[in-house]
Structure 1
């Protein structure tokens, strides 16, 4: 999640991994994007739901399997031209398919399985008239264009108030879209229960370059434009997908365990690379506790923002000292396991992402500062009751206060209490086992709380309910 300006609250990083790159001369087109050859036939199949906190975004009737996005950005005119192929599964018999797409974008044409289809685009709802059957697959092709704008965020934080496509005065672009906002730049089922595979091709005039999630499988200059093609082979929720277009320099690195790492920094701020080179040490610390890094590569992207956000395999950070601090790097990398590898079914359970990432950040800070974890938690516990009172319990928060500190500190304290209750060995074993045993899927409140009860042989339902749904902060041991 986005970095808060409050003390010790971690920012969210955009993850966009890149493991290969080919610079080729003008002339030859990029190979046509295609789904990852290594993906299983079931990859991208999800069980979409209507969101319990933000029901107006997303449609449980659609299960997107693969998005193939071809994006051309004209910074002078601020026009985005997109051609999108969506392989999807209908979850029910219906006479239409519905995706989210901002009203700022004009749809020129839509086809379903190669045939032109009638559609309406009222507000952010793109409704395609076509008869569909439950569990059948369809190929939706959408051509669109327009000047994307960010949308208001349901938050009271002071480091961001909009989400989605953001254009800077110089024409550079970045996207952060938690809890929603992906629909500001492509047609999407914009709800976290619907995970899909992605191919993203970006064209922009040089010296700009497009950065996105996954593996950089092609990079070429064609007619004065820089083309990059990115492939995300593991299913991702829409809020974990990003694109940035700007004057970036790429620096390659590698973790101690052999994970390829890339740093994308603004060309006019070369010193920022020194901040990011602290990431491999933090990743090694996390792998000691959580197991092998769950994706093929990891990227870090610096943009002109006051905050940042984790996305799958590419972490996007603001260019502030706090956003690139070691504790934030640890927090955002922790989301690769808690949030990205296993993602909440809906936004009620964002505490699953932020609470564990915050606890891990606290454990790292304790070791780094030579103090106990309890000392860090004692400090955080001071403000937690007031946060709970103002914004609600972590798993029943005020929908107008998304991302407030109550979803960070309360669950972090909860995990520390469970650590003390179970003992370090058992606690850390289960912290490691949860994402590995639920890899690349979604989970909700009942899933994770019942799993901890089953694994420990204790009925922990009351413990979790008190910490996550209680109006008052439980007593600490």
Structure 2
């Protein structure tokens, strides 16, 4: 009897270690979106991606793109089916080596049913083969792929991935990337991270890039064309890789005079934001008719029209500041956009101070006074602007003024601790405006709820200006009520032109 009891006890203990298979009823489809209030169908539920391996072949003459993306993911629920966001034509999908059935729905949903369902916590390798002409594909009435005279560009916000690789397209699911693209000899491929190698065969050259730090899908970029390449290092030894289309025309010199200062400006911003979070930096200027720039991770996209009025280091500062505020620390949802744009705009104020072209306080006072109380500018709430106002000038300008007001409220010592500590505290992660408020309160020792409500969440002009004083005229209608325009202001405005233009 004693022996039997021992065996039974051992068997019982062993059963506790075994994973009990889920029943068929436990396996459910993943949600077709992450539930972002601004873009409910963007991203997907039921899994998280850790890595994208993207291997493509691209013909610049015809704009034809074909290839295979391999996705490494982990199921976060028992999955019978899951979605990817994608717009091109798919010919085959495999999950863990087995052929999967697939269908499309909505504007960008690729619905995948694996041959065997995925248990919660299990690893999945998803292989998608596809082909298409991305510039001809429109979703929601627009295309995220920019055609150029000698190739194509993927650089857009809040979406661009659908036109060149299938993904879980929401900033809350960041991953690492390998991007390898085959193009006809004479063309170059620009992407994120570090160029790990090139190889040529039979008139074609393959370029392989790697971004080994977490990256949001909209920050992944691809550019194919004929570029002049410059390579250098910052004073601290960080590799700098810049590229310029060969046919930029009269904007070429101004673009170079701006973007070639990237290394210097990264070192400048590191003094305020802490150590640069990635393994390389740079930018590229293709021949496109757009006006906007975009903080694509480690390799910033600049429209040549950013330099139509001459060199503009302000736009370079703005996009480089995003490498900390927006790229390393990314929004948890798109309503948190102030954490990106307010701080990148404020970095321009810091650069203006450095260049003796207007202090941050002078710039904030100028913006505050330039907009009378009845101006619709004040009806946009930077802390939750709404999808239609996500790239409103108020998110940038009122957002930066709010940061200067915070500086005045907590004092320089605590303010600069917050400015540097925040990207360190949340490095490579995601965060909300509420998370930032909590962090600012912790560092400053002050309760800031009323302050953030006034500056970020109230659709009206704050009664007290960013300097902490109530102005004589809230309407600022009188000519003498508006301060003298700081010297840097026009360049800041030029840098921020084209917000939301990509869509």
Q: TM-score, normalised by structure 2?
A: 0.80
Q: Would you say the 8 A contact 2:292–2:306 is kept in 1?
A: no
Q: SS state of the match for residue 177, structure 1?
A: coil
User: How do 1:177-256 residues align onto structure 2 when only pairs under 5 Å count?
Assistant: 177-256=156-235
What's 1:72 paired with? 57
The whole-number CA distance in structure 2 between the counterparts of 1:151 and 1:51 is: 24
* 1:141 maps onto 2:120 in alignment: no
C-alpha displacement at 1:217, in angstroms?
0.2
Which moved further from structure 2: 179-188 or 208-217? 179-188
What's 1:27 paired with? none
* 1:125 maps onto 2:109 in alignment: yes
* 1:336 maps onto 2:323 in alignment: yes
Please report the RMSD computed on the Cα atoms of aligned residues, expressed in angstroms.
2.0
C-alpha displacement at 1:152, in angstroms?
6.9
Q: Would you say the 8 A contact 2:190–2:224 is kept in 1?
A: yes
What's 1:446 paired with? 434
The whole-number CA distance in structure 1 between the counterparts of 2:124 and 2:187 is: 35
Which structure is richer in relative contact order (CA contacts within 8 A, separation 6 or more)?
A: 1
Instruction: Report Cα offsets for 1:445-470 as digits up to 9, x if no partner.
Output: 22111111122221112211221111
C-alpha displacement at 1:267, in angstroms?
2.5
C-alpha displacement at 1:275, in angstroms?
2.9
What's 1:53 paired with? 38
What's 1:303 paired with? 286
What's 2:147 paired with? 167
C-alpha displacement at 1:284, in angstroms?
2.2
Instruction: Report Cα offsets for 1:190-234 as digits up to 9, x if no partner.
Output: 111000110000111121111100110011222211210001100
Q: Which is helix-richer, 1 or 2?
A: 2
Q: Which is strand-richer, 1 or 2?
A: 1
C-alpha displacement at 1:388, in angstroms?
3.6
Structure 1 residues 319, 457: closer, same or farther in 2, change over 3 A? same
Structure 1 residues 126, 321: closer, same or farther in 2, change over 3 A? closer
Q: SS state of the match for residue 126, structure 2?
A: strand
Q: SS state of the match for residue 347, structure 2?
A: helix
Aligned length: 420
User: How do 1:9-408 residues align onto structure 2 when only pairs under 5 Å count?
Assistant: 49-102=34-87, 105-122=88-105, 123-130=107-114, 131-149=117-135, 162=142, 164-168=144-148, 170-269=149-248, 271=253, 272-305=255-288, 306-322=291-307, 325-381=312-368, 382-383=370-371, 386-389=375-378, 392-408=380-396
Instruction: Report Cα offsets for 1:309-366 as digits up to 9, x if no partner.
Output: 0111111101125486111111111001100110001100011000011111112113
Structure 1 residues 384, 410: closer, same or farther in 2, change over 3 A? farther
For the pair shown, the structure with the greater C-alpha radius of gyration is: 2
Structure 1: 5+ residue stretches without partners: 1-47, 155-160
Structure 2: 5+ residue stretches without partners: 1-32, 469-503
Structure 1 residues 443, 375: closer, same or farther in 2, change over 3 A? same
Q: Would you say the 8 A contact 1:63–1:89 is kept in 2?
A: yes
Instruction: Report Cα offsets for 1:153-194 as digits up to 9, x if no partner.
Output: 99xxxxxx95522222x3411111211131121111111100
Q: TM-score, normalised by structure 1?
A: 0.84
Q: Would you say the 8 A contact 2:51–2:73 is kept in 1?
A: yes
